[in-house]
Amino acid sequence: MVQTNPAKRKSTFFLSEDVLSEMKEVISIKGIRSQNALVEEALRDYIARIKREILRQDYIEASKDPLFLADVEEVEKAFKHADAETARMIS
């Protein structure tokens, strides 16, 4: 969740010249308001991608866990009638 007015804190990073050059080019082409805005957006996107990958791996592991699969089956059985009723309502 993105805060509407998050607190900012200064950080210093060392980047290669080619990355800095490409960053300035992208800022100019896309009309991004600043290098800070581009870096923040890029980091948010990268972090979100990493979190999605971690979640995907968690799902893969869960799909192989017999206890988890038993829990899923139990929940599906418990809600079988409610699911059928809902399916009839929306079809």
DSSP assignment of 27-57: HHHHT-S-HHHHHHHHHHHHHHHHHHHHHHH
Token digits for 63? Answer: 């799909």
The pLDDT > 90 percentage for the chain reads: 76
Which residue range forms the structural domain that includes residue 63? Answer: 17-90
Residue 62 in any domain: the answer is yes
Q: Is 58 left (phi over 0), alpha (psi -120 to 50) or beta?
A: alpha
Is the pTM higher than 0.85? The answer reads no
Residue 12 in any domain: the answer is no
How far is residue 72 CA from its own chain's centroid? Answer: 24
Confidence of residue 2 (pLDDT cuts 50, 70, 90): low
Task: Provide mean pLDDT across the span 39-56.
Answer: 97
Residue 86 in any domain: the answer is yes
Amino acid 91: pLDDT:
75
The pLDDT > 70 percentage for the chain reads: 97
88 vs 52, more confident: 52
As for how many domains the chain has, the answer is 1
Residue 7 in any domain: the answer is no
pLDDT at residue 25 above 70?
yes
Residue 66 in any domain: the answer is yes
